[in-house]
Amino acid sequence: MAIPQIPTIEQIKNRIISDIESKINQTVPALPLSLVKVLASAIAGMIFLLYQAIMWVYKQIFPASADFANLVLLGAIVGITPVSAVSAVILCAVTGSGSQVDQGTLFIGSNNITYRVTTNTTITGGTATDVPMIALTSGDIGNLANGEVLTITSTDLNLDGTATVTSTQTSGADKESDASFSARVSLRYRTRYITGSPAAYALNGLETPNFIWIGPYASITLPGTVEVYGRVDNQTDGIPTSGQLAELVTYLSFDPTTGKETRRPIGDTILPLPISVRAFEIEIYINGGSPSLNSQIETAVKTYATTLEPYIQGISDTRKNVLTNTDAASVADDIAVGSSAKVTQVVITDVLTGLPENNYTLWGGEFVKFSVVSFVAVI
């Protein structure tokens, strides 16, 4: 349901005067009219505040428009809570001459984050493998790539003083954004949560650190297999790493609170897949353009491309799965008209095929981007 528009104070004031004239069935004379206008102005201000209060209450009914505090309450009703920041847990190889790497030993990474060893780990043949370390600062900043070297914070005669990252046990993630939480709550209110349904796969997958889009599909070629595409917010073009995909499967299968495998239906095989991003070039023909305006338009059309995503039955609220030159031209022209310019035409070219594309539909886990935006001045 669309949110009603609140009339302005001037509109309310004019309505009051009009109602008075209708009631007495004649135009208010000039002298009394002055008094009526004063009273109408005073009453209109109070009525406007009442409208504001009513509209605030109205917005709290719907997850998409509710204030965050009330959104949390709406989420609690359906069992959805905001995802807190997650501390990265990495596994490292530590060398030394002692018998073990002690729990509590501190190392610091190239990101200036301190990591604490969480479990006593035996040193065999001069090396302790898979030493678990947790970042003492939560968030995405705690993630380190395999091969990164950490340095011990205080001298330990039993250790050489460095640790090398071999894998990531738990990806660090920042606190969930208000927009992401609102989207999850809205999805839960739109759909019934049934284990094995597309909505259930999406809701469970979105709890995985850094994942912002989940696309579940029944495999066409593999019976009993669910193909689950994932998009993240901390990798180039949103394409997840193999480690992140493995973590996604864990969240799709196990309840993170109880550790029990209650999320994966019996018989379902989960095949995690990274999204793909198809590149397009866009040529914008513009009359009255300038470097500053062109830069604004470039930002706008690139942002437009990132809003497109495959349509998933049972999950997607609206269809945003087609890249069209008409929509791209409209986005560009909306920026241009504000600066007395005009976009006359756009030409979109598929980088992979080299052919012009007027309407491109996204399927599976496919997304799009404008890799090149160029402008042609029209006189």
Over residues 280-291, mean pLDDT: 95
Confidence (pLDDT) at 32? 62
- pLDDT of 159 over the 80 cut: yes
Determine the average pLDDT of the residues in 200-218: 91
| The architecture CATH gives domain 191-274 | 2-Layer Sandwich (3.30)
The rounded percent of the chain whose pLDDT value lies above 70 is 96
Q: For 114-142, how does the pLDDT look when each residue is reduced to its tens digit (9 = 90+)?
A: 999 999 999 999 999 999 999 999 999 99
For all residues of the chain together, what is the average pLDDT?
89
339 compared with 5, residue with greater pLDDT: 339
Higher pLDDT, 283 or 169: 283
The answer to whether residue 2 scores a pLDDT higher than 80 is no
- Token pair 């491309």 in the structure block, residue: 305
Top-confidence residue, 86 or 30? 86
Between residues 370 and 257, which one has the greater pLDDT?
Answer: 370
Which residues neighbour 171 within 8 Å (Cβ) at sequence distance 6 or greater?
A: 86, 88, 143, 209, 210, 243, 244, 247
Mean pLDDT throughout 28-52?
Answer: 78
Quickly state the pLDDT bin for 371 (edges 50, 70, 90). very high
Residue 31 pLDDT: 55
DSSP string across 363-377:
-TTEEEEEEEEEEEE
Residue 29: pLDDT over 70:
no
Report the pLDDT averaged over residues 328-337.
94
Q: Is the pLDDT of residue 227 over 90?
A: yes
Q: How confident is the model at residue 262 (pLDDT cuts 50, 70, 90)?
A: confident
- Residue 26 reports pLDDT greater than 90: no
Average pLDDT over residues 77-95: 90
**Looking at residues 69-73, what average pLDDT do you find?**
89
pLDDT for 116 equals 96
Average pLDDT estimate for 5-29? 78
Cα gap 254→257, rounded to integer Å: 9
Tell me which H or E stretch contains 237.
none
Domain ranges for the chain, please list them.
9-59, 89-170, 191-274, 277-377
Counted residue by residue, the chain has a size of: 379
pLDDT for 33 equals: 61
Specify whether the CB–CB gap between 359 and 322 falls below 8 A: yes
pLDDT tens-place string over residues 339-358: 899 999 999 999 999 999 99
Give the predicted TM-score (pTM) of the model. Answer: 0.64
**pLDDT score of 24:** 67
375 against 187, higher pLDDT: 375
Chain mean position to CA 182 = 10
| pLDDT given at position 176 | 84
Tell me what the mean pLDDT of segment 45-64 comes to: 86
Binned at pLDDT 50, 70 and 90, residue 30 comes out as low
Q: Which amino acid is at 20?
A: I
Residues 74 and 128 sit within 8 Å (Cβ to Cβ): no
pLDDT tier at 4, thresholds 50, 70, 90:
confident
What gap in Å lies between CA 191 and CA 183, rounded to an integer?
12
Does residue 359 register a pLDDT over 80? yes
3-state secondary structure of 290: coil
Q: Is the pLDDT confidence value at 27 over 70?
A: no
* Residue 303 burial (CB count, 10 A): 11
Q: Are 141 and 172 in contact (CB under 8 A)?
A: yes
pLDDT value, residue 103? 94
